[in-house]
Amino acid sequence: MASITIRQLDESLKQQLRLRAASHGRSMEDEVRTILRAAAVGPAEAPPARAATRRNERVAESPVLVSKPIVPAGHKRVLLIIGGGIAAYKSLDLIRRLRERHMAVRCILTAAAQEFITPLAAGALAGERAFTDLFDAASELDVGHIRLARDTDAIVVAPATADLMAKMAGGHANDLASAVLLATNRPILIAPAMNPAMWANGATQRNLAQLMQDGVVTVGPNAGEMAEAGEAGLGRMAEPLEIASATEALFGDEGGRPLAGKRIIVTSGPTHEPIDPVRYIANRSSGRQGHAIAAAAAAAGAKVVLVSGPVSIPDPPGVRIVKVESARAMFEAVETALPADCAVFAAAVADWRVATPGSEKIKKQKGKAPLPLALVENPDILATISHRKVKRPPLVVGFAAETENVIENAKAKLVRKGCDWIVANDVSPETGIMGGETNSVHLVTAAGVETWPPQSKDGVARALVARIANALTGEQA
């Protein structure tokens, strides 16, 4: 038989031959011989396909390349990376929720994820093959992990296990999921899920801080019962609807992301200043207005850090949450979050704290008046940030919750604190604003006072964020 000269073949034919040979684990010359042998002896005696070498692996007759997904007009592309935790079963529902929101979904399953759910299940719900292996000869002939990293509009990691977060923070790339995450230049959203002790571990918190610094957005974790008997706390993966909403917030409205690339700090809620282990000084703030501002800023494309006091409302999607109790903890969290393009101080921070909180519950003594509480002043977060010489945000917005002389007091506060804007409102009990769903505010600036019509707190948030976007981009309001 004459020798086989591959290089004389047409380029397109050579490419098809190269892909077919790779899928069968043969050289191009051996593949040609196999084709000729099969043609000579007939289809009944064609050689059998190469046996699978991995668990559940099936070798196709021709390679399955990572082709660019076909996405209907107006749909966003999401690459869902499913980590190995019991919460992986929720990711199947998440695929449905994303597709309901007109998002095309591709899936990567880590090796550990495949212990909980199958690639077949994920692929069936997503509508295309799920990817699992970095060293897949079929897809890696086309450098598949790079295509997966680029042919998407965002990457969602759910569940994001402690191990996967550590790989991301450390820049590891020893499997398909971590290689894609390292190679991408697209927005990344993670939904952490792990045991509460693992979440609270210093190593996990350091990894989280690094990821936040790198621009990764988080949703959750939530508090609740764990899969392990008798375990409860912070570590449950956010629910699929929460993750889907956070994914939508990554995109915002089409063409409506005026704060893309900007960093915004928002404070929200009350602070609790302990009197003893049982009692504390607080106020009636619900955190609704601050949380709404954080959500609106995230929807406008900003990277948002929300420093929240103790509240009972859900975390807004698409923002980084730092939960604190006291005014001093809130101040430290704000300083840690700097630098920023804008800081909005909507929290109702306690002006005073007990100088020496009791280490035990203070007992009532019959016939005796309670001991007087010695109070000391808390740090003034708004004034301190406004007067910084270094890392002062270009735009600092304060809030003034007043019960009388609202505009006059707000003007005085603007000068006294040194901030750029004050959002003032009347929180007298008869208004129902403190803790309620609606708000009526005045925007006080050096240029004057604007009185906005009564509206929902979400409406106030959207209007304020629009003004912030105008200010930061140099446009006239």
My answer on whether 149 and 268 are in the same domain is no
Q: Is 283 a catalytic residue?
A: yes
173 and 275 assigned to the same domain? no
Per residue in 288-339, pLDDT tens? 999 999 998 988 888 999 999 999 898 888 888 999 999 999 999 999 999 9
pLDDT attached to residue 5: 60
288 vs 261, 389, 410, 435, 451, CA distance in Å? 25, 31, 21, 7, 20
* DSSP secondary structure string for all residues of 345-388: E--B--SEEESS--SSPPPP-TTSPPPPPPEEEPP-HHHHHHT-
% of the chain surpassing 70 pLDDT: 81
Residue 362 lies in a domain: no
Number of domains, the chain: 2
Q: Write the pLDDT tens digit of every residue in 100-123.
A: 888 889 999 999 999 999 999 888
Q: Report the 10 Å Cβ neighbour count for 309.
A: 26
Residue from 201, 207, 222, 283 carrying the catalytic annotation: 283
Same domain, yes or no, for 242 and 286?
Answer: no
Low-confidence ranges of the chain (pLDDT < 50): 1, 43-67, 140-143, 254-255, 476-477
Q: Are 427 and 434 in contact (CB under 8 A)?
A: yes
- Half-sphere exposure in the Cβ direction for 88 (13 Å, CA): 22
Distance CA 127, CA 441 (A): 48
- For 53, residues 6+ apart whose C-beta sits below 8 A from its C-beta are none
Which CATH number fits the domain that encloses residue 119?
3.40.50.1950
Backbone φ/ψ region at 118: left (φ over 0), alpha (ψ -120 to 50), beta = beta
Same domain? For 142 and 287 the reply is: no
Tell me which residue range forms the domain holding 133: 76-224+233-251
Query: Tokens 């769903």 label which residue?
Result: 437
Instruction: Let me know whether 242 and 98 are in one domain.
Output: yes
Please tell me whether residues 267 and 303 are part of one structural domain: yes
The reply to whether 151 and 300 lie within a common domain is: no
Domain identity same for 282 and 427 = yes
User: Structure tokens of 280?
Assistant: 């504390």
Is 70 part of any domain?
Answer: no
Cα(315)–Cα(274) distance, rounded to whole angstroms? Answer: 24
Residue 419, both tokens: 């901030």
Listed in sequence order, the residues at least 6 apart from 90 whose beta carbon sits closer than 8 Å to its beta carbon are 158, 159, 237, 239, 240
Instruction: Say which CATH number the domain at 277 has.
Output: 3.40.50.10300
For the purposes of burial, counting CB atoms within 10 Å of the CB of 166, is it exposed (0-12), middle (13-18) or buried (19 or more)?
middle
Beta-bridged to residue 422, according to DSSP, are 398, 444
d(CA 185, CA 187): 7
pLDDT at 1: 45
Among residues 9, 13, 29, the alpha carbon closest in space to that of 21 is found at: 29
Task: Using a cut of 0.75, tell me whether the model's pTM lies above it.
Answer: no
247 and 274 both lie in a single domain: no
Question: Are the C-beta atoms of residues 271 and 333 closer than 8 Å to each other?
Answer: no
Residue type, 127: G
- Helix then strand then coil, in percent of the chain rounded to 5, is 35, 20, 40
> For residue 69, what pLDDT is reported?
52
Residues β-bridged to residue 103: 76
